[in-house]
Chain A
Amino acid sequence: MTKTIDTTGAGKGAKGAAKAATGLSRRQLLKGAAGAAGLAAGSGVVTGFPTIWAQNPITLRQFGTGVSNLNAIAEKCKADLGITLQMTALDSDAVSQRVVTQANSFDIADIEYWICKKVFPAGTLQPMDVKKIKYYDQIVPIFTTGKLTPDSKIAQGTAPNTVGFVEGPDSKTFAKAPTQWMTLIPTIYNADTLGIRPDLVGRPIKNWKDILDPAFKGKTSILNIPSIGIMDAAMICESAGLIKYADKGNMTKKEIDFTIDFLIKTKKDGQFRAFWKTFDESVNLMASGEVVIQSMWSPAVAAVRSKGIPCVYQPLEEGYRAWGGGLGIARHLKGAELDAAYEYINWYLSGWVGAYLNRQGYYSAVLSTAEKNMSPDEWAFWMKGQPAKTDILSPEGKVMYTAGAVRDGGSFEERMGAVACWNSVMDEDRYMVRRWNEFIAA
């Protein structure tokens, strides 16, 4: 298919696109259809496809950490926009490496903010013009000003707002305040805490330090992913009153030594049953009763519960460890592909994906559009922390919560308002990782 502009063909393309779009709800995506129709140039018009991309098929190669690399999203994107998404799920270390070293192997990077801090200065991603982001004004302020409400405090670690903007289209240095140029468009985030087996702990769990309780000796676990595990360990140490960190997300060598030495001592005392690395390991540890309190991710809690085993994602007094991810555009994208990437991102924020993510217990970056795609009962349950009026279904249609259930931790404001620190990358990263390996080998 040629990109040469042929007036007759372009006219046909525009007409065809307009015709095909009739009766479609997502009309906003056609804005600028006339201009884009040039892309649809030449060829015979294929009718029956929803948008202009059908005439000039665009494929975007997206890779990311798997949390939001969902096939359902690729299918819906194909149906709504005609853009084919090729998704590759990798672990966060592999993602960081690919962004830096294989800049031409991807079009869209779905990465976390702490990865962004590490890789954006390499210059392989291009900042995005917020003027082209339709829902920019409605993005949750955590990602722009950093404050959920005007009087909230910005948490420690790599808070998304600190790496969310750069000074200009070619800049690689992060801006202190929002600018016109965004590094990542936020898509998904959540607040993590400890998971417990309420039937086996036998007492209320209120603090991170409860994982050190001698009563749980040999029945606890933390995750063996250094950059996240160290944060959970820091929450535990601080909660136990052993140390006060200047910034948990950017420890000094001394603080790292203290934390790791404490972990080694705790391990030698037999406090931990195991260290997990993958999602299903954490589910099995909890479901089998090998551990009763451990670091966990929210879908893992849901997975334990779906086996009929009680499991609670326990809110703790010191607050949550939060993480957030977003979409970045590769530096090499331009022309039609760049337009398609913007269109994809605008579609991502337009509600369907947001509702999908919210229904999994995560949060979407633009809440107003997600709300329109959820039933009032779903919205009240997931976002307002109210008891479910009817059974709450997962996006795949499985019952996740029965009527009357309440979400652990309550409403969006209660959970995201109580973030103590964000997943982060430290300046002393390499040293931390070396010490962490000592802890595992000890």
Chain B
Amino acid sequence: MTLSRLVPRLAPYLQASPLALILAAFLVLPIATIVMVSFWDYDSIQIFPAFVFTNYEETIASPVTWSTYLNTLKYTVIVWALTLFIGFWVAYYLAFHIRSATMQMVLFLVCTVPFLTSNIIRMISWIPFLGRNGLINQSLMQLGIIDRPLEFLLFSDFAVVLAMVHLYTLFMVTPIFNTLMRIDRALIEAARDAGANAFQILTNVIIPLAKPGIAIGSIFVVTLVMGDFITVRFMSGGQSASVGLMMANQIALLQYPAAAANAVILLIIVLLLVAGILRIVNIRKEL
């Protein structure tokens, strides 16, 4: 085979190799390491190479794991439903009610303004707002609506869900907005000419066509909430657990193999969830 014939054949591989190398070094290798360590053994100060299943056995057999996973799934479902509802209507408003393209972009950028500050700042600024002597409680008490502070506002599931919805709604808005903008307006006119009312247009035309956006947004939100630990820790005041927090605790106690086993289980569950979403919506086909 001559060189002139070899080069064109090699070209695509060469073009793909930078990304392949980066993914191999920064994704495949770390995950392989985590999987490997999850079979290692440990004591209170050291980990040693071994091939034991105790990390998985202890994780799966413990009722704490189950209740923690259930708790994390509970957060995921609630946050997913709320961000989907809010995110869809924000995107809908931007896409169909704002006429000028300039205004759409301006308003969309306004949505992203809070993201100029860090995730943690946006989260902990809720704490003085929701606290026992915080802004909400003081205002409500001055208005005479309540006579003693509402305790459930902070360090509770309510606070966790509130902060997560605040943090993650934009991840829903962006992809849905994107798909809504691609909908051919002639389809909506055609539906109207065919006699569909506003609700029917929404359920029969817009939502089906927005599915890829909804799916992508859902993948973002589900993976973010499933892996979260800092929001849960700060907003629940350490009173609630999430899978991420459980791993963070294990790492702090140097139980790396146990944390790795937990990470592998979490990864499998999240991949199953994502596979489920992709099963329902074929992102590539409908994009």
Which A residues are within 8 Å of any B CB, using their own CB? 91, 93-94, 96-97, 100-101, 118-119, 122, 218, 221, 224, 226, 267, 272-277, 284-285, 288-290, 429-430, 433-434, 437-438, 440-442
Contact A430 B44 (CB under 8 A): yes
User: Do A275 and B238 contact each other (CB < 8 Å), given the known contacts A100-B45, A118-B45, A119-B45?
Assistant: yes
Which B residues are within 8 Å of any A CB, using their own CB? 43-46, 62, 64, 67-68, 71, 127-128, 131-133, 151, 154-155, 233, 236-239, 241, 246, 249, 252-255
Contact B64 A290 (CB under 8 A): no
Q: Could you say which residues of chain A place their CB within 8 Å of the CB of B255?
A: 433
Contact A441 B154 (CB under 8 A): no
- Whole-angstrom distance between the alpha carbons of A275 and B68 in the complex? 17
| Residue of chain A at shortest CB distance from B155 | A274
Closest approach, in angstroms, between the C-beta of B213 and any C-beta of chain A?
35
Contact A101 B46 (CB under 8 A): yes
User: Do A277 and B238 contact each other (CB < 8 Å), given the known contacts A288-B132, A290-B131, A433-B253?
Assistant: yes
User: Do A274 and B131 contact each other (CB < 8 Å), given the known contacts A93-B252, A96-B254, A97-B45?
Assistant: no
Contact B254 A97 (CB under 8 A): yes
Q: Could you say which residues of chain B place their CB within 8 Å of the CB of A100?
A: 45-46
- Whole-angstrom distance between the alpha carbons of A97 and B133 in the complex? 41
Contact B246 A437 (CB under 8 A): yes
Q: What would be 22 A-B contacts, judged by CB atoms less than 8 Å apart? A: A91-B252, A93-B254, A96-B45, A97-B45, A97-B254, A218-B151, A226-B253, A273-B237, A275-B237, A275-B238, A285-B237, A288-B127, A288-B128, A288-B132, A289-B132, A290-B132, A290-B154, A290-B237, A433-B255, A437-B246, A441-B64, A441-B67
Q: Could you say which residues of chain B place their CB within 8 Å of the CB of A434?
A: 62
- Whole-angstrom distance between the alpha carbons of A440 and B67 in the complex? 12
- Whole-angstrom distance between the alpha carbons of A440 and B239 in the complex? 6
Q: Could you say which residues of chain A place their CB within 8 Å of the CB of B133?
A: 288-289
- Whole-angstrom distance between the alpha carbons of A363 and B255 in the complex? 33
Interface SS, B side: loop
- Whole-angstrom distance between the alpha carbons of A285 and B44 in the complex? 31
Contact B132 A438 (CB under 8 A): no
Q: Could you say which residues of chain A place their CB within 8 Å of the CB of B237?
A: 221, 273-276, 285, 290
- Whole-angstrom distance between the alpha carbons of A96 and B44 in the complex? 9
Q: Could you say which residues of chain B place their CB within 8 Å of the CB of A122?
A: 45
Closest approach, in angstroms, between the C-beta of A279 and any C-beta of chain B?
14
- Whole-angstrom distance between the alpha carbons of A275 and B246 in the complex? 15
Contact B239 A272 (CB under 8 A): yes
Q: Could you say which residues of chain A place their CB within 8 Å of the CB of B253?
A: 93, 226, 433
- Whole-angstrom distance between the alpha carbons of A276 and B254 in the complex? 19
Closest approach, in angstroms, between the C-beta of B3 and any C-beta of chain A?
51
- Whole-angstrom distance between the alpha carbons of A276 and B253 in the complex? 16
Q: Could you say which residues of chain A place their CB within 8 Å of the CB of B246?
A: 437, 441
| Chain B CB within 10 A, most for which of A91, A93, A101 | A93
| Chain B CB within 10 A, most for which of A273, A430, A437 | A437
Pairs A-B, 3 closest by C-beta atoms? A274-B237, A275-B238, A441-B241
Contact B132 A274 (CB under 8 A): no
Closest approach, in angstroms, between the C-beta of A275 and any C-beta of chain B?
3
- Whole-angstrom distance between the alpha carbons of A243 and B234 in the complex? 33
- Whole-angstrom distance between the alpha carbons of A238 and B33 in the complex? 45
Closest approach, in angstroms, between the C-beta of B148 and any C-beta of chain A?
11
Q: Could you say which residues of chain A place their CB within 8 Å of the CB of B154?
A: 290
Q: Could you say which residues of chain B place their CB within 8 Å of the CB of A224?
A: 238
Contact B44 A429 (CB under 8 A): yes
| Residue of chain B at shortest CB distance from A225 | B252
Q: Could you say which residues of chain B place their CB within 8 Å of the CB of A226?
A: 253
Closest approach, in angstroms, between the C-beta of A429 and any C-beta of chain B?
5
